[in-house]
Structure 1
Amino acid sequence: MTSQTASSIHIQNFYLSYQDRQIFKNFSLSMKGGKWNVLLGRSGVGKSSFLKAIAGLLPPSTYQGTIKADNGSLLSEQISWMTQDALLLPWLSVLQNVLIGNKLRQLSGAIAISETKAKSLLVDLGLGSFLDMKPDSLSGGMRQRTALARTLLEDRPIVLLDEPFSALDAITRAEMHDLTFRYLTNKTVVMITHDPLEALKLANIVYVLKGPTISSVETLTPSNCPPRNIKNELVLKEHETLMKQLSNNEGLS
């Protein structure tokens, strides 16, 4: 598959309600192309709904506003998306699950996702010995890494990640941070996390979403270039700043 140029994402006059609750109201935001844009917020604030809207997975009748790329093209044709749930097909092996895009889009030959590339990535993700195993034989962290591999192999210019490392232990998480960051160089990444340190390790810019109704964001541009050492003194100071921003929040479910 051929990589495309990463685009910025522009959200204008965005309104979204859920179960009679106004989540977003007259919200506008531009997220930088080719950068890691990390959405940070407490549970229930609306991060996942926002990501679904960007991915084009919410019915148009449920929200108002425009979501578009730099040139006005449809984002849905440029996006790969990793959900909180692995969404693996239980009757397929690890390798078959990460190559499912070929079958769904009937791709073959040079335009298909390479099996060799898939196996190489799965080895890098620590799954090289589990290629033929089915999802019910895997741990939660292994299923999450399989879903991550499937997303990375799509090689789209815009990558949406909804808590992609949440099921991993601390050491594996740190390793996956570094690998994923390398793999997504020059992509437009929008990632959701609840972890301020994870945001500070990976983000070019952090957007803090605070309820009960979101009409704007607070932003933080961390010092130095990602991925960062989370023990760095500047990072720890910025962590304190984010914790203060997050603690000043209302109306969470």
Structure 2
Amino acid sequence: MEIKEMVDGKRHQVQYDQNIAGFFHDFNIHTGRPELFAGYITGHCLKDKEVSSGETYGIAADFGCGTGWLSTRLAFDGFEKVYGIDTSPSMINQAMDKTPSYLLKTGRVCYHVEIPLDILGRCDLATAVHLHYHFNTKEKLRDDFFGVLASLISKNGEVIMIGCPSKNIRNTPDHFYSCIHMDDIPEKIACQTLSINDYADQQGYVPISCLPDFRVEDGTQLKVVFSIQDLSGNVRKAYLTDTHWNDDMLESVAREAGLSLIRRQELSWRNHPGSYMAMHFRKL
């Protein structure tokens, strides 16, 4: 199936087969992103709390938990119960395999392909890391992403989502980059780019970093290339489709779903400033 065709509701679930799930487990180890993201999230949530040994903080939902690295970290850092939720069975299998068995046996961490109804409105924290790109229309972004997150948190709960700031889409760390299909490049921009066909891959995707600066339209389907280089210099790559949403659109759609932006924080990866971004929301 070509990237350009993968735009139905099952698009991202189809992409995350067992091979991709295994790749992203290795990718996270290689890049150290879990330490950056989890350190920021738990540091923010727990900075004002003084809890004695053995006490816990409440309920957290890790929406789009992937391989379970954040769910596990939230439990380690003191949340009473963590629900990891992901529609990909391959990701859930990876998470179950990588999570310490005592967390699973005691029920501190549990994984689901659907949201348990009994946690709606009860979560002190709901997280979503690189998940909003999976929703390919504004309506799905509002109802199935922000709307779901809003339904999970309690009156005083908080949502923290992490992604990449849209303004830095051309300036990414060396472990990933985004490409846009030639059909989605504005004519004015295409005309300014010499030998644009030389940059395009067989599917017609061009690295955005090769193009003059322009605003990528909300809802555009991008091909994202992820890479890992091992100690021997061998490079492994994975190719996924993501839907581009500009930061101002995210804030606007979240508000339509009943969430108010209370904080925006750029996160630096190693010596690369502004690689990622955290957005914090509370109920209106």
Q: Give the TM-score taking structure 1 as reference length.
A: 0.34
More relative contact order, 1 or 2 (CA 8 Å, 6+ apart)? 1
Q: Give the TM-score taking structure 2 as reference length.
A: 0.31
Structure showing greater Rg: 2
The structure richer in strand per residue is 2
